[in-house]
Amino acid sequence: MSPVDSAGEFTRDQRYIGTRITADGRDGFPVEAGRYRLVVARACPWANRAIIVRRLLGLEDALSMGVCGPTHDERSWTFDLDPGGRDPVLGIERLRDAFLARFPDYDKGITVPAIVDVPSGKVVTNDFAQITVDLSLEWAAFHRPGAPQLYPSHLRDEIDEVNEGVFADVNNGVYRAGFAGTQEAYDKAFTRLFARLDQLSERLSGQRYLVGDTITEADVRLFTTLARFDAVYHGHFKCNRAKLTEMPVLWAYARDLFQTPGFGDTIDFVHIKRHYYEVHRDLNPRGIVPAGPDPRGWLTPHGREALGGRPFGDGTPPAPPLPAETVPPSHSAQQVPQ
């Protein structure tokens, strides 16, 4: 993880590769079906966003996906889930190989999600925030019929405003609490986190989704943190004023999204817990992974339909996940992990 600063505050390294894959190819990487591979890890909330957006937009045939295992060492994520420990398309064992292929002296974080140019084997971008927006806007020619508008032009300013607060205080806020180097830094992050969650609860008490009456990019970004809250952040990161299940509005909102095709079917609770509890040995020295919480509560009724709203607007739900991309039932809310 990124280091803490002199005040003990966690500072995320945000020096991402800013190259974009665009419809007009202005950065040298034009949108082309089959040319690129999205590399993710189901454990990672930032990568989970890209998995969800790719599913919602129906880009599976245009943009293949490689899935790293839930743990990694100081070098990078690895393809240990694949036969022989190599990605079957890229032919590499570690994601860092794609980064070094383009930047031999690369000295920043090897992060997911990342998009790799298959012909050259070189990483194009790991700018997670831009990746999902570009999947909505630049890859439109390859969207499925009925794909939702996740970043509609008339709502972008509001979506951006909501996303800014959610990133600072919630998405990154849980990390600022978990990796705080001083009590003061922890207290500050903790206070900001729950103040923002209270604000979001108030906002969502009268509307089904964060912006407008359909699912947008804003909901995707908040959901991936909420999905990990009780399993990881409440205990592991000391974000323990309340569990998600003890925040009625946010818990119902999160269950509503979880039960929406494209959201809950991307969540792998086993990978999530293994990543945080096994990799963060500074916080959990023995690497013991907790058995709970029971995920079946995610499938209980939420009642959010009473607020109206249309999940996909004028569009339709995505098809079920591809067989090769389906989360095992024992890793999901379908049954308690053994």
pLDDT at site 334:
76
- Tell me the CATH number at 196: 1.20.1050.10
Specify whether 184 is located in the same domain as 308. yes
147 within domain boundaries: no
pLDDT category at 337 given cuts 50, 70, 90 is: very low
Give yes or no: residues 267 and 169 share one domain: yes
What would the pLDDT profile of 170-180 be if each residue is shown by its tens digit?
A: 999 999 999 99
Question: Is the backbone peptide bond immediately before 317 cis, with ω within 30 degrees of 0?
Answer: no
Angstrom distance (rounded) from CA 236 to CA 287: 11
**Is it the case that residue 128 has pLDDT exceeding 50?**
yes
Does 302 share its domain with 206? yes
pLDDT of amino acid 2 = 52
In a domain, 13, yes or no: no
Q: Is residue 246 part of a domain?
A: yes
Across the chain, where does the E strand assignment appear? 36-41, 64-68, 114-117, 122-125
Mean predicted confidence (pLDDT) in 48-71 = 98
Q: What is the distance between the alpha carbons of residues 266 and 326, in angstroms, rounded to a whole number?
A: 8
Same domain, 185 and 306: yes
Residues 223, 167 share a domain: yes
Q: What is residue 8's predicted lDDT score, i.e. its pLDDT?
A: 85
pLDDT at 338 over 70: no
Domain boundary among 114, 142, 170: 142
Among 36, 151, 175, 209, which one carries the catalytic annotation? 175
Q: How far apart are CA 113 and CA 115, in angstroms?
A: 7
Asked whether the CA dihedral 59, 60, 64, 70 is positive or negative, the reply is positive
- Asked if the structure places residue 62 within a domain, the reply is yes
State the residue for tokens 């999940």. 311
Q: Are residues 191 and 79 in the same domain?
A: no
The model's pTM: 0.97
Same domain for 133 and 223, yes or no, is no
44 among known catalytic residues: yes
Q: Which of 36, 44, 209, 277 is catalytic?
A: 44
Least confident of 7-11, 66-70, 79-83, 184-188: 7-11
Q: CA–CA distance from 297 to each of 189, 268, 300 (Å)?
A: 28, 15, 5
Specify the CATH number for the domain of residue 129: 3.40.30.10
User: Distance between CA atoms of 24 and 40, rounded to whole angstroms?
Assistant: 25
Q: Are 272 and 42 spatial neighbours (Cβ–Cβ below 8 Å)?
A: yes
| Model confidence pLDDT, tens digit, residues 285-324 | 999 999 999 999 999 999 999 999 999 999 999 999 999 9
Predicted pLDDT at 336: 44
By percentage, how much of the chain surpasses pLDDT 90?
Answer: 93
CA 143 to chain centre: 20
**pLDDT at 168 exceeding the cut of 60:** yes
Closest CA to 209 of 197, 222, 219: 219
Residue 175 annotated as catalytic: yes
Structural domain boundaries enclosing 239: 153-331
Confidence of residue 255 (pLDDT cuts 50, 70, 90): very high
113 preceded by a cis bond (ω within 30 of 0)? yes
User: How far out from the chain centre does Cα 290 lie?
Assistant: 21
What pLDDT does 335 receive?
A: 57
Whether the CB-CB separation of 47 and 112 falls below 8 Å is answered with yes
Say what the pLDDT of residue 284 is: 97
How many structural domains compose the chain? Answer: 2
- Say what the pLDDT of residue 13 is: 81
What is the side-by-side order of every strand in the sheet holding 114-117? 64-68, 36-41, 114-117, 122-125
Q: Are residues 113 and 188 in the same domain?
A: no
Among 263, 12, 274, 289, residue whose Cα is nearest residue 150: 263
| CA–CA dist 307, 214 (Å, integer) | 12
Per the domain annotation, does 58 fall within a domain? yes
Q: What is the arithmetic mean of pLDDT over 181-207?
A: 98
pLDDT digits (tens, 9 = 90+) for 22-52: 999 999 999 999 999 999 999 999 999 999 9
Q: Is 237 left (phi over 0), alpha (psi -120 to 50) or beta?
A: alpha
